């Protein structure tokens, strides 16, 4: 039933962070519904041969993001999922750790958006995965929560600026999902 409602056979999709977790599940679902699926990830070998195209990208590195989008001539759907978390209280964070979380979780999404615009000539949809932590915080989640809240604001800005080009921009804020990122939480609580 759903395949008839959501036929994506004429759509080209890029899933950044598509080698594991929510990103991989998203890429698999897009493929199941007929989309031509490109996956880009810091670990592309994990999904080599599973999707139509697979590339390396480090979204914290602007040149890496530019290089990825130079390989893509057009795009209908973009889903960006990467995220890292270093669970510590603010006082225990090093500047290097803070910058790493900031660069992957927020700055990288800016890089992705800036470059996606140039290949979404016919309009399309941008979906950024944020987190329930954008809205609900707990000790030891400070920088992660700040960056995920920043994605929500980035999405609002992009939606207001890109609507005139027929590009929809939305955020999805899942709660806890069993992924490699959240498994570290379970193992640290034992």
Out of 62, 109, 144, 165, which one is annotated catalytic?
144
| In contact, 80 and 94? CB cutoff 8 Å | no
47-61 burial string, b = 16+ CB within 10 Å, else e?
Answer: beeebeebbebbbbe
Judge whether 177 and 22 are in contact, CB under 8 Å.
yes
Distance of CA 101 to the CA centre of its chain: 14
CA distances from 70 to 2, 28, 52, 76, 128 (A): 33, 24, 17, 16, 20
144 belongs to the catalytic site: yes
Q: Which residues are catalytic?
A: 144
């Amino acid at each position: 039933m759903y395949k008839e409602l959501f036929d994506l056979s004429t759509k080209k999709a890029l899933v950044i962070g598509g080698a594991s977790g929510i990103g991989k599940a998203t890429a698999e679902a897009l493929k199941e519904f007929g989309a031509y699926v490109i996956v880009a990830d810091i670990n592309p070998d994990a999904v080599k041969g599973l999707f139509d195209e697979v590339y390396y990208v480090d979204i914290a590195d602007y040149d890496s993001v530019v290089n990825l989008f130079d390989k893509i001539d057009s795009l209908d759907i973009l889903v960006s999922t990467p995220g890292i978390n270093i669970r510590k209280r603010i006082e225990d964070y090093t500047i290097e750790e803070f910058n790493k979380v900031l660069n992957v979780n927020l700055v990288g999404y800016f890089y992705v958006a800036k470059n996606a615009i140039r290949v979404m000539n016919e309009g399309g949809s941008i979906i950024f995965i944020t987190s329930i932590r954008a809205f609900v915080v707990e000790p030891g989640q400070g920088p992660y929560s700040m960056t995920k809240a920043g994605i929500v604001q980035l999405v609002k800005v992009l939606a207001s600026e890109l609507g005139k080009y027929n590009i929809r921009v939305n955020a999805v804020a899942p709660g806890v999902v069993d992924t490699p990122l959240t498994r570290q939480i379970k193992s640290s609580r034992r």
